[in-house]
């Protein structure tokens, strides 16, 4: 039987099915593989299409408008907070293993945009991860950390309204990681990250530290929190959502009888109850009635539910016999103290039934029940975490083709590159052009396969959608040739780097005023 994870997300896994089989290590946070078909992420891992909610985003960033940000998980929660002027947060981290480059700028921009929308913004340096997973020395980490923070500030992050920190010096994060680690085990990390007997303990510990990072903005108060990442980081997001649910005092779900239901069983029994209620509106519907109904559905071949799920439900309904089948909200005791459990019993108004490990309430809807459970938990020193949300951006193609990589200097433009070197890299970049100018004019170029066009979309066109569309159309129609296009892009990247580095120099003079250290002394 398929089981959902604690927060209702699809089961975790490391592979993404493709039309040609399975693409291995497709969502590996430390791998180098790119995701070849983003559509499969919607099907396999439950990532939702961002385009469906774009109309609800206030003044959307151009990365959203141009579908560079292509997916999300539970982002509506953040949009509701924006719309209602409620607290929300944004957090993302940077592993300081090299110079920040234009691919990292995507995340910088996403953090800054959410801060401008009123969110509490957090930028963290994942130095423990860099040391344990990549083996960098602390002196190297210190230098790279400084460069990441300088670029974030130069691009518009407001340190007075936001929070900057390093994993290694944040004791609250480390304490939270210790508590979260109680809810995780090696078998789980092995399944998610392909860890094995050769994986060192510090690497595993760094994963739990990242879970603490993701939940850190909620330590003072639960609030919607969005994590902007590439899709390769989705395993971290899903594990964090699981752990956020596991450390909660109470789980809140829908039920229909005294026995519990798995997420795949619940809608089947709900459909049976609704059908029987419509057929017999004046009668008390009993569990045995539902068992008979489901048996008839199975015999008639009128359901596509798996045999395992259906057989289990029929057995439970028949064993419950004459027990009335009634919708109710169930509060499940996960980690509640005795005082918190008693406090919840007292707080539930109306009809309720109390069992050893759960409470059934008959006069609350799901949203009211979630709010009540969180309120009682906070009153009794619990975390009350909300499951973190996430948005996903496409990977930038490297200037030489393939994935942009910090380890291949020619594939990316560092934010520290000399502006003239940035110019030269763009001029030498691979394009989506035809073999000859004549073919280009006749057949048009292929901007969808062109790293140089991506530069316009992701960076060089800025907020000017008309300019980005003009470049695309001129290329596709054969009006724009690669030589002139690269010359324009090279000049724009040179201007960008000059401006960015001037702003970095301005912040360099004020860096000592910030509450973050770039000398660990380790």
Q: How confident is the model at residue 517 (pLDDT cuts 50, 70, 90)?
A: confident
| DSSP state, residue 156 | T
Q: Could you read off the pLDDT of 284-338 as tens digits, one per residue?
A: 999 999 999 999 999 998 888 899 999 999 999 999 999 999 999 999 999 999 9
Contact yes or no for 309/327 (Cβ under 8 A): no
**Rounded (10°) CA dihedral 282, 288, 290, 294:** -140
Give the CA radius of gyration of the chain. 26
Which token pair is 393? 């951006």
Distance from C-alpha of 11 to C-alpha of 2, rounded to nearest angstrom? 8
Instruction: Point out the least confidently predicted range of 1-10, 55-64, 270-279, 463-472.
Output: 1-10
Distance from C-alpha of 348 to C-alpha of 364, rounded to nearest angstrom? 8
Q: Could you read off the pLDDT of 99-122 as tens digits, one per residue?
A: 999 989 999 999 999 999 999 999
Distance from C-alpha of 424 to C-alpha of 272, rounded to nearest angstrom? 67
CATH class of 409-513: mainly alpha
> In the chain, what percentage of residues exceed pLDDT 70?
92
Write the Ramachandran bin of 385: left for phi over 0, alpha for psi from -120 to 50, otherwise beta: beta
pLDDT at position 244, please?
A: 97
Domain 16-247+387-393, CATH homologous superfamily name and number: HUPs (3.40.50.620)
Contact yes or no for 332/251 (Cβ under 8 A): yes
pLDDT at position 35, please?
A: 52
Where are the chain's structural domains?
16-247+387-393, 251-379, 409-513
The whole-number average pLDDT for the span 453-477 is: 95
Q: Could you read off the pLDDT of 390-449 as tens digits, one per residue?
A: 999 998 888 988 777 776 788 889 999 999 999 999 999 999 888 889 998 999 999 999
Distance from C-alpha of 148 to C-alpha of 153, rounded to nearest angstrom? 9
> In the chain, what percentage of residues exceed pLDDT 90?
74
Would 16-247+387-393 and 409-513 be classified into the same CATH topology? no
Distance from C-alpha of 48 to C-alpha of 58, rounded to nearest angstrom? 19
pLDDT at position 54, please?
A: 97
Q: How confident is the model at residue 282 (pLDDT cuts 50, 70, 90)?
A: very high
């Amino acid at each position: 039987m398929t089981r959902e994870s604690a927060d209702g997300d699809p089961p975790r896994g490391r592979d993404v099915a493709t039309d040609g089989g399975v693409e291995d290590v497709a969502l590996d946070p430390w791998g180098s593989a790119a995701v070849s078909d983003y559509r499969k992420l919607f099907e396999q891992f439950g990532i939702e299409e961002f385009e469906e909610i774009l109309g609800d985003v206030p003044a959307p960033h151009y990365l959203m408008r141009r579908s560079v940000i292509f997916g999300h998980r539970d982002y509506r929660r953040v949009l509701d907070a924006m719309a209602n002027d409620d607290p929300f947060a944004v957090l993302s981290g940077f592993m300081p293993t090299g110079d920040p480059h234009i691919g990292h700028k995507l995340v910088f921009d996403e953090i800054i945009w959410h801060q401008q929308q009123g969110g509490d913004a957090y930028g963290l340096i994942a130095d423990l991860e860099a040391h344990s997973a990549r083996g960098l020395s602390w002196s190297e980490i210190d230098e790279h950390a400084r460069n990441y923070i300088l670029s974030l500030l130069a691009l518009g992050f407001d340190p007075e309204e936001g929070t900057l920190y390093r994993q290694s010096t944040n004791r609250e994060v480390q304490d939270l990681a210790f508590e979260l680690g109680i809810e995780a085990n090696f078998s789980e990390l092995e399944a998610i990250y392909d860890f094995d007997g050769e994986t060192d303990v510090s690497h595993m510990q760094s994963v739990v530290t990242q879970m603490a990072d993701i939940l850190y903005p909620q330590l003072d108060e639960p609030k919607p929190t969005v994590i902007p990442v590439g899709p390769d980081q989705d395993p971290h997001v899903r594990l964090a959502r699981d752990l956020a649910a596991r450390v909660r005092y109470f789980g809140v779900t829908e039920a229909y009888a005294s026995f519990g239901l798995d997420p795949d069983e619940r809608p089947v029994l709900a459909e049976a109850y609704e059908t029987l209620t419509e057929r017999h509106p004046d009668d008390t519907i009993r569990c045995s009635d539902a068992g008979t109904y489901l048996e008839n559905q199975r015999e008639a071949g009128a359901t596509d539910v798996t045999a395992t799920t259906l057989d289990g439900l029929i057995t439970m309904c028949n064993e419950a016999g004459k027990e009335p089948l009634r919708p109710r909200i169930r509060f499940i005791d996960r980690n509640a103290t005795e005082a918190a459990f008693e406090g919840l019993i007292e707080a539930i108004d109306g009809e309720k039934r109390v069992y050893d490990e759960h409470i059934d309430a008959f006069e609350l809807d799901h949203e009211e029940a979630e709010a009540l459970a969180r309120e009682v938990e906070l009153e009794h020193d619990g975390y009350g975490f909300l499951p973190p949300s996430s948005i996903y951006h496409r990977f930038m193609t490297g200037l030489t083709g393939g994935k942009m990589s910090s380890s291949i200097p020619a594939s990316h433009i560092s934010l520290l590159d000399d502006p003239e070197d940035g110019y030269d890299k763009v001029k030498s970049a691979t394009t989506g052009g035809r073999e000859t100018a004549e073919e280009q004019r006749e057949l048009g170029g292929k901007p969808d396969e062109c790293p140089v066009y991506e530069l316009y979309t992701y960076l060089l066109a800025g907020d000017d959608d008309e300019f980005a569309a003009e470049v695309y159309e001129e290329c596709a129609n054969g009006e724009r040739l690669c030589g002139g296009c690269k010359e324009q892009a090279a000049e724009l990247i040179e201007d960008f780097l000059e401006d960015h580095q001037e702003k970095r120099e301005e912040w360099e003079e004020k860096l000592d005023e910030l509450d973050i250290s770039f000398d660990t002394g380790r």
